[in-house]
Structure 1
Amino acid sequence: MPVDPQPQAVLSPLTESAVFLTLTVADGGEQTVRDLLPELAGIVRSVGFRLPDEGLTCIVGIGSDLWDRTFDGPRPAGLHPFREVVGGRHHAPSTPGDLFLHVRALRLYPCFELARLVRDRLGAAVDVVDEVHGFRYFDRRDLLGFVDGTENPTGDDAAAAVLIGAEDPDFAGGSYVMTQKYLHDLGAWQAQSVEAREHAVGRRMLDDVELDEQTQPSDSHVALTQIVEEDGTEREILRDNMPFGSIARGEYGTYFIGYAADPDVPERMLTRMFVGEPVGNTDRLLEVSTAVTGNLFFVPSTAMLDDPPPARTAAAAAEPAPARSAGDLGIGALRGAR
């Protein structure tokens, strides 16, 4: 009986520290990245074996353009460039990113060491275009003062929400990850009353209880990020968001990171937030939170990391890239979308 491909550590418990690295890969650096994939588990062990209580993990994601430049054969069905969302007042940009590393542990220094070793291994093949050091805040709250990730699925529900299955058998055990970096205007946020902040989020600040239907505004974050199908099925993602900040730069934010078996789910959430449901009824949090990055990556199974797909041949690389649909181009598909 065949064994299901094992996922990377996307279902691991939330940790206290993380490093998020987004890299671009230079032309000609594709083979260096491909060679790294089967080595990655050994690099993690080289750091983690000395720190068995840290729970050190490293998840790697591959962007759409890098996949096409690196591998021959089938491609993940849901993989495409991050789809920029432009609403009447708010904008979720698409920013450069070919390779993504999500490094987690109890403390920051093992994350830093592992990220450094992987970066050194890749050498001149890559450039780091974004680096964020995340930390857990009081009571697992974000810098806005609310608990983050309360509605994450657990157990079998989490696996069903996150892991690709028979719908794309060549990539079973894999996942997709969407990332965005949000910067908060804490002064404007803290100037609001507690009640106004609770209505923006859709939860009570003190005890984290979701507001009831009579109190819950239709433009709260909770209301707009709930995706419910016509048959009543709720579509979920697994969030591992973390606060980050720099006092020197006056930057205070949340790093959004959402794992899903189908990127359509977080994309629908973003459309509802930035364009509105109905159009114009946008997420109140966006009045004080600005998205400054946006990326989508495929997260291979551990078996695919150990034995990557065949390298793209020179003949295949010379072929024209497949035409993208309007949805893949992003801005036209979601501008004013309903």
Structure 2
Amino acid sequence: MSGKNWDRVPIDAQSVDAPLSTAAIFLVVTVGSDKAALSTAASVLGELDDLVKNVGFRDLSGRLSCIAGIGAELWNRLSPNRRPRELKPFAPIEGAAHSAPSTPGDLLFHIRAERPDMCFELERILLDSLGGSVSVVDEVSGFRYFDARDLLGFVDGTANPTGLDLPASALVGDEDGDFAGGSYVVVQKYLHDMAGWKETPTHVQEEIIGRTKIDNIEIDDDDKPRKSHKSLATIEDDAGNEYDILRDNMPFGRPGQNEFGTYFIGYSRYLWVIEKMLQRMYVGEPPGAYDRLLDFSTPHTGTTFFAPTRPMLQKLVEGVQQ
């Protein structure tokens, strides 16, 4: 769904449109409250493109990229009088059976590449550069699992927009012209109950997800009182227009620690679209008929960011350095 006729991905946008990668790192940090910490963080943001190039040149086929997202509180410190229209902290959600927590986060670095060592090296350099100006809140290394499946065994991201639908769904348009080309970003780290999921019959798993497990065929549950994850995550406005988001979820895990999860990251033109999706999942549609996937997947984080265009990022940096 679009309010603007996109004919290309804006060249000044961050790499939201980068292809799904083999490896990724999701790094969330908070920035110290003093001016020196803010200045250091701003300086690193200003050098981000150069840092990516310095690592990426070693293997151009590795397709290294990094998106920087800025949380509402840090945005207010960087630009107190000018902010994206919908940007605000992640709002916790309390459902009858499950809840979604809100956790801190000033900066998100979404690092992607075809080689995990390149992701590792860029993260190492970023943290060395940021030094004591930040505290790490969360750090997750994700990987592609077979044919883009999650650890529950289902293909993830099938409904992602492609072609010209991608910028129309993921990037802000004329409705907030000062921030056009940017993107709202919501992240959540989910941990799975693999034992409970394994005990669930495959046909029930498919009803929960809304797709067949082997061949990824969509299941029609329009006439059923209990909607699938697929249906609850499909968002329409009052006029019946459907709104998409861009997901770049990644599996992660440590079998030795019995840790198995999915890192959800959604890019959206409108923050309200992701908020409505999460409300439907946790509260239910109708209320009480929540997403049964939450019986097996528990969120441990929840944070909202805005990924501005490259020129806007530079303006924020220059405002601090003046």
Shorter-chain TM-score bucket reads over 0.9
Mean Cα deviation higher: 207-216 or 13-22: 207-216
1:58-81: CA deviation from partner (whole Å, max 9, x where unpaired): 000000011112224311111100
Is 1:42 the counterpart of 2:50? The answer is yes
Tell me what 1:73 maps to: 81
Letter in 2 for 1:242: M
Residue in structure 1 matching 2:15, options 9, 32, 38: 9
Q: Distance in 1 between matches of 2:269 and 2:235?
A: 14
User: Contact 1:143/1:243 (CA < 8 Å) preserved in 2?
Assistant: yes
Q: Distance in 2 between matches of 1:80 and 1:209?
A: 36
Q: Structure 1: which 4+ aligned runs deviate by more than 4 Å?
A: 214-217
Q: Sequence identity, in percent?
A: 50
Cα pair distance change 1:214/1:302, threshold 3 Å: closer
Cα pair distance change 1:219/1:5, threshold 3 Å: same
Cα pair distance change 1:215/1:108, threshold 3 Å: farther
Tell me what 1:143 maps to: 151
Letter in 2 for 1:85: I
Tell me what 1:324 maps to: none
Alignment of 1:139-218 (within 5 A): 139-213=147-221, 218=226
Tell me what 1:319 maps to: none
Mean Cα deviation higher: 29-38 or 109-118: 29-38
User: Contact 2:42/2:320 (CA < 8 Å) preserved in 1?
Assistant: no
Q: Distance in 1 between matches of 2:175 and 2:267?
A: 17
Residue in structure 2 matching 1:83, options 86, 91, 109: 91
User: Contact 1:15/1:105 (CA < 8 Å) preserved in 2?
Assistant: yes
Q: Distance in 2 between matches of 1:23 and 1:201?
A: 32
When normalised by structure 1's length, the TM-score is 0.89
Tell me what 2:3 maps to: none
When normalised by structure 2's length, the TM-score is 0.93
Distance apart, 1:36 and its partner CA: 1.6
Distance apart, 1:278 and its partner CA: 0.9
Q: How many residue pairs are counted as aligned between the two chains?
A: 312
1:132-156: CA deviation from partner (whole Å, max 9, x where unpaired): 0000001111000000000000111
Tell me what 1:31 maps to: 39
Distance apart, 1:229 and its partner CA: 2.0
Distance apart, 1:220 and its partner CA: 1.1
Q: Secondary structure at the match of 1:155?
A: coil
Tell me what 2:61 maps to: 53
Q: Distance in 2 between matches of 1:113 and 1:37?
A: 17
1:44-91: CA deviation from partner (whole Å, max 9, x where unpaired): 000001111000000000000111122243111111000100111100
Q: Distance in 1 between matches of 2:27 and 2:60?
A: 23
Distance apart, 1:223 and its partner CA: 1.1
Cα pair distance change 1:278/1:125, threshold 3 Å: same
Tell me what 1:300 maps to: 308
Residue in structure 2 matching 1:18, options 1, 24, 27: 24
Residue in structure 2 matching 1:121, options 122, 129, 144: 129
User: Contact 1:26/1:125 (CA < 8 Å) preserved in 2?
Assistant: yes
User: Contact 2:184/2:304 (CA < 8 Å) preserved in 1?
Assistant: yes
Q: Secondary structure at the match of 2:287?
A: coil
Cα pair distance change 1:310/1:302, threshold 3 Å: closer
Letter in 2 for 1:294: G
Q: Distance in 2 between matches of 1:307 and 1:270?
A: 32
Distance apart, 1:182 and its partner CA: 0.3
Q: Distance in 2 between matches of 1:50 and 1:215?
A: 54
Distance apart, 1:232 and its partner CA: 2.3
* Unaligned ranges ≥5, structure 1: 314-338
Residue in structure 1 matching 2:292, options 262, 284, 303: 284
